Chain A
Amino acid sequence: MDAITLARVQFALTVGFHYIFPPLSIGLGLILVVTEAFYLKTGRPMYRDLTRFWARIFGLIFAMGVATGIVMEFQFGTNWAAYSRFVGDVFGSALAAEGVFAFFLESGFLAIMLFGWDRVSPKVHFLSTVMVFLGSVFSAVWIVVANSWQQTPAGYRLVESAGSLRAEITSFWDVVFNPSSLDRLSHVLVGAFQAGAFLAMSVAAYYLLKKRHEEPAKFALKVGLIVAAAASLLQLVSGHASAVGVARNQPAKLAAFEGHFEASAPAPQYLFGWVDEREQRVRASIAIPGLLSLLVTGDSRKPVTGLNAFAPEDRPPVNPVFQSYHLMVGIGFALIALSLVGLLLWARGTLFESRRLLWLYVFAVALPQAANQLGWFSAEVGRQPWIVYGLLRTKDGVSRVVSAGQALSSLILFVLVYALLFALFIYLLDRKIRQGPAEEGMELSFKGPRA
């Protein structure tokens, strides 16, 4: 593989691994705020213990997020130096703002949330938990703004500087509210709430099935279910808005999402299929005629731009984008179904006895994770061959001084280290969950022999 491919694979691997954790922090942060609010209102120890339990899980997830996040912050410079020179004037501000407005807030109040139970009043503690949650949301705001600018650049002009072209800011607010920022931010945040809610439901369902910690588990399942149902329905709205935005701003990407080659009218919507790029058709598919036109333009007879409108060198790879996008959408509908069935059984009063549904919930925790990963994949691969849409090609963004050998060694290093970290994370998460929310179950300090 050449240096560019290696740098891309490394970025995809490190960002994909990192992206397991921040959505969980955001989603679990919301669950924590709700649970602690109940504790503050009622003063019942059950809510306090459950809050502390979620906080311990949060601490583990947060540590993984920090450890893998710092890699992302450095990697623009290490592997994408030409890109950094091109976008620094615009993109750097968003990254610096993330540090100033989000990370300090999050890490500072996290200390009180995790270690400050005996040092501050319950109200100050609750406030700290809210601040940690807000910090994680702000972090999403700035990084999604930065990424959205790569997708739909705005508020800049191209300037010749030191012998090469770069983007310079002309309007900060146009950069922040670039055409895709709000759609993509809401899509990412709602996806994060789904991830947190399904984690809470998974843990709660496991306790109910094992007949342990049943009282906190019932509460956690209800909270998780409400958040999951609301978020999954909202995701339908947000997902639709995002797709319409992509059709408007990045038509080549939308055409790849849907395997749409000719600007035919009416355009069909494929439910599934396999894209044959050479033959320019979607095999083994089921399609609803005119639905894509209707969804994207509001009129089932209007045409939708196809990939053939773009020169071959300006098209993204189609089948991987098609598949990841369709899988994401499919999972989105499954999450709606799973949470609505739960609400229905709750209304009937049989939720906590429905063992089959509870088992589904135990494993459903993987679904929002998969959807989040697939969504990023389709958004980023669908942006290709551009690193900044329409302005800079990915191959021109890579660091010129980093050799393929260097990139390969670091890639191997990340694969090994992340595999180890993932195994340890799952092991410790599993231990924490088995330990449960009961305070007396907490491990005692270990007096080891003299080391």
Chain B
Amino acid sequence: MIADLNVVWFVLIGVLFIGYAVLDGFDLGVGALHLLARTDEQRRLMLNSIGPVWDGNEVWLVTGGGALFAAFPHVYATVFSGFYTAFMLLLLMLIFRAVAIEFRSRQPMLWWRRTWDVSFSMASIGSSLLLGVALGNIAWGVPLGPDHEFAGRFMDLLNPYALLVGITTLALFTMHGAIYLALKTEGEMHERAHAWARNAIIGFTMLYVTTTMATLLYVPHMTDTVREHPLLFGLALLNMLAIANIPREIHHGRDWRAFLSSAAAIAALITLFGVGMFPELVSASNDPANSLTIYNAASSPKTLGIMLIIALIGMPLVLAYTAGIHWVFRGKVRLDRFSY
């Protein structure tokens, strides 16, 4: 493995997606749980627990998309046009999610709030599922023509393996969101969040095991790299330890550590996904020669170099603001006159 710019950008895009999944993952999860809250006050607590940060979290997706466009334009073009209907649905959900958060508490009418509650929750669930299904398809492989264009149909994307990855992603985000909520709330809301977290952990663990088995049995190319480099098995081990640690920390009431474990589990899962794909970015199910790799789908070395400079200047600033904002809004969420 030579550390050329293409490899560097493969890693950096992975880092952006990890940042996105760890950060937006919890607010999508809070959204998935939203309708389970019984009172208006609890729903407002949930919304305001993510209120100041959800928008910044979503910027990780936007920047990840931009970076993909710049570094691997053929992947951006093939996947976004090939998964057209799925991406249009995702856009619709992201739109409704954004405006639901903004609009919901601006009017007192019960019908108004219920409508936006349902929009927010359904859009959060739908976005998590769609992102997972897209990931599942990329691992499973899609038919690609010699011109790099998607050669399948929308229905091909709804294969059982991709759906399983979709549901697993939803469960992962729901667990992550419940833990975040436990971290940010107190009293009755905190108790409820704990109960949700405990259930979500069980659900996620079962789906995680199922997905792992399905991957080993039906998508063996995802495990080739680990088979060839046994040291990488350590990653799978770390992933399992991080997941196993979550119920332990929750049991002892150490929400912050549970959240870190959950974040570590997400990072390890995406890293394993990356290791399994490398050096491919989209596998062609019909003919491996048509697969998009970090070489045949990339921009020129000059652009990758310029982008690296942009990333080296920009990302430390981004990490500084992200940390700063989370620091300013640290502690338990309370409703005040500025809240949603």
Known A-B contacts A90-B303, A401-B149, A449-B110; the reply to A78 vs B87 at CB < 8 A is: yes
Q: Which residue on chain B has the smallest CB distance to residue A410?
A: B88
Partner of A67 from the list B40, B73, B94 (CB cut-off 8 Å) is B94
Residues facing B in A346-397 (CB within 8 A) are: none
Given contacts A77-B77, A81-B77, contact A93 B307 (CB under 8 A): yes
Of A166-174, A179-187, A194-202, A263-271, the segment with at least 4 beta carbons within 8 Å of chain B is A166-174
Structural contact, B91 and A97, CB atoms closer than 8 A: no
Q: Which of B53, B92, B95, B315 has most A Cβ within 10 Å?
A: B95
B76 closest partner in A (C-beta): A77
Distance in Å from the Cβ of B317 to the closest Cβ of chain A?
A: 7
* B62 & A450 in contact (Cβ 8 Å cutoff): no
Q: Does B256 interact with chain A (Cβ within 8 Å)?
A: no
Near B by CB (< 8 A), chain A positions 57-71 give: 59-60, 63-64, 66-71
Taken residue by residue from 100 to 132, chain B's Cβ proximity to chain A (1 for < 8 Å, 0 otherwise) reads as 011101111010011001000000000000000
**B306 — which chain A residues lie within 8 A by C-beta?**
93, 169, 172
Binds B, one of A100-108, A204-212, A232-240: A100-108
Q: CA separation between A448 and B315, bound complex, in Å?
A: 43
Measured CA separation A431–B105 after assembly (Å)? 13
Cβ of A431: which chain B residues have Cβ within 8 Å of it?
106-107
Chain B residues in 8 Å Cβ range of A165: none
The stretch among B158-166, B173-181, B204-212, B324-332 that forms the contact with chain A is B324-332
- A104 contact set on B, CB distance < 8 A: 56, 59, 63, 314, 317-318, 321-322
B61 to chain A, nearest CB (A): 8
B74 close to A111 (CB less than 8 A): no
When the two chains form the complex, which single residue of B40, B76, B81, B322 contacts A451, counting CB atoms closer than 8 Å?
A: B40
Instruction: Evaluate contact between B85 and A107: CB separation under 8 angstroms.
Output: no
Residues of A within 8 A of B184 (CB): none
Query: Which one of B73, B84, B92, B106 lies within 8 Å of A84 (CB-CB)?
Result: B73
Which residues of chain B have C-beta atoms less than 8 A from A41's C-beta? Answer: none
Q: CB of A136 within 8 A of chain B? A: no
How would residues 438 to 451 of chain A score, 1 for a CB under 8 Å from any chain B CB and 0 otherwise? Answer: 01001101111111
B65 surroundings in chain A (CB, below 8 A): 73-74, 77, 99
A16 interface hit (Cβ, 8 Å): no
Measured in the bound complex, the distance between the Cα atoms of B148 and A195 in whole Å is 43
In the assembly, what is the distance between CA of A451 and CA of B321, in Å?
37
- Residues 91-133 of chain A, each 1 if its beta carbon lies under 8 Å from chain B, else 0: 1110111111101110111111011111110000000000000
Instruction: For residue A392, give the distance in angstroms from its CB to the closest CB of chain B.
Output: 14
- Given known contacts A89-B299, A92-B71, A443-B108, is B113 in contact with A99 (CB within 8 Å)? no
Contact A88 B76 (CB under 8 A): yes
User: Does residue B310 face the partner (Cβ distance < 8 Å to A)?
Assistant: yes
Candidates A89, A97, A110, A448; contact of B314 at CB < 8 Å = A97
The reply to whether B99 and A81 contact each other, CB–CB distance below 8 Å, is no
- Asked if residues A89 and B73 are in contact (CB atoms below 8 Å), the reply is yes
Establish whether residues A60 and B59, one from each chain, have CB atoms under 8 Å apart when the complex forms: no
Q: Tell me if A100 and B95 are in contact (CB < 8 A).
A: no
* Given A111-B55, A450-B39, A451-B40, A103 contacting B62 (CB threshold 8 A): yes
- Bound Cα distance from A124 to B72, whole angstroms: 39
A168 with B63: CB separation less than 8 A: no
B55:A98 contact, CB within 8 angstroms: no
A187 to B41 Cα, complex, angstroms: 46
B261 within 8 A of A: no
A99 CB contact (under 8 Å) in B44, B59, B76, B87: B59
Is the beta-carbon distance between B98 and A66 smaller than 8 angstroms? yes
Report Cα–Cα, A431/B107, bound state, in Å. 9
Q: Is the CB of B228 closer than 8 A to any CB of chain A?
A: no
A93 touches B87 (CB 8 A): no
A190 to chain B, nearest CB (A): 26
Shortest beta-carbon distance, B113 to chain A, in Å?
A: 7
Q: Known contacts A67-B98, A81-B78, A88-B76; decide if A446 and B66 are in contact (CB<8 Å).
A: no
| Cα–Cα, bound, A98→B59 (Å) | 10
Chain B residues contacting A312 (CB-CB under 8 Å) are none
Q: Which of B82, B337, B338 has the most CB of A within 10 A?
A: B338
Contact indicator A448/B113 (Cβ below 8 Å)? yes
B299 proximity list for chain A (CB < 8 A): 88-89, 92, 168
- Nearest B residue to A106, CB-CB: B59
Question: Which residues 35-72 in B have Cβ within 8 Å of A in the complex?
Answer: 37-41, 43-44, 51-53, 55-56, 58-59, 61-63, 65-67, 69-71
Known: A100-B63, A399-B81. A111 touches B69 (CB 8 A): no
B325 contacts which chain A residues (CB < 8 A)? 108-109, 111-112
Closest to B90 in A: A74
Give the contacting residue for A96; candidates B69, B99, B322; CB below 8 A: B69
| Cross-chain contact A424 with B303 (CB below 8 angstroms) | no
A111–B56 touching, CB < 8 Å: yes
Q: Are A421 and B99 in contact (CB under 8 A)?
A: yes
A283 in the interface (beta carbon within 8 A): no
Among A85, A115, A172, A451, the residue within 8 A (CB) of B339 is A115
Q: How far is the CB of A164 from chain B (nearest CB, A)?
A: 8
A89 to B70, CA, bound (A): 6
B63 closest partner in A (C-beta): A99
CA–CA, A46 and B315, complex, Å: 39
- Contact partners of A448 in chain B: CB under 8 A: 39-40, 110, 113
Specify the chain B residue showing the minimal Cβ separation from A135: B321
Shortest distance between the CB of B227 and any CB in chain A (Å): 30
Q: Is B336 an interface residue (CB 8 A)?
A: yes
The answer to whether B77 and A428 have CB atoms under 8 Å apart is no
Residues of B within 8 A of A118 (CB): 336, 338
Query: How many angstroms from the CA of A9 to the CA of B153 in the assembled complex?
Result: 24
Q: Which of B41, B52, B61, B310 contacts A114 (CB 8 A)?
A: B52
Alpha-carbon gap, A379 to B70, bound state (A): 25
Question: What residues of B have a CB within 8 angstroms of the CB of A402 in the complex?
Answer: 81, 84
Is there contact, CB below 8 Å, between A447 and B314?
no
Chain A residues positioned under 8 Å from B114 (CB to CB): 451
B63 and A70 within 8 A (CB): no
A413 vs B89: C-alpha distance when bound (angstroms): 10
A19 contact set on B, CB distance < 8 A = none
Residue on A nearest B292 in the bound complex, by CB: A162
Known A-B contacts A81-B81, A82-B77; the reply to A74 vs B38 at CB < 8 A is: no
Q: How far is the CA of A420 from the CA of B40 in the complex (A)?
A: 25
B296 at the interface (CB under 8 A from A): yes
Residues of B within 8 A of A166 (CB): 73
CA distance A310 to B204 in the complex (A): 63
**Interchain CA distance A69-B314 in the complex, whole Å:** 21
Judge whether B63 and A105 touch: CB under 8 Å.
Answer: no
- Shortest C-beta distance, A68 to chain B (Å), equals 7
Q: Establish whether residues A162 and B148, one from each chain, have CB atoms under 8 Å apart when the complex forms.
A: yes
Q: Judging by beta carbons under 8 Å apart, are A406 and B77 in contact?
A: no
Could you pull out 19 A-B pairs where Cβ atoms are within 8 angstroms? Answer: A60-B102, A67-B98, A70-B91, A76-B80, A85-B77, A90-B303, A96-B63, A96-B69, A115-B339, A119-B329, A159-B300, A164-B147, A168-B300, A399-B84, A402-B84, A424-B99, A424-B103, A431-B107, A446-B108
Rank and list the top 10 A-B pairs by shortest CB-CB distance, nearest first.
A88-B73, A77-B80, A92-B70, A99-B63, A100-B314, A111-B52, A448-B40, A63-B102, A81-B81, A399-B81
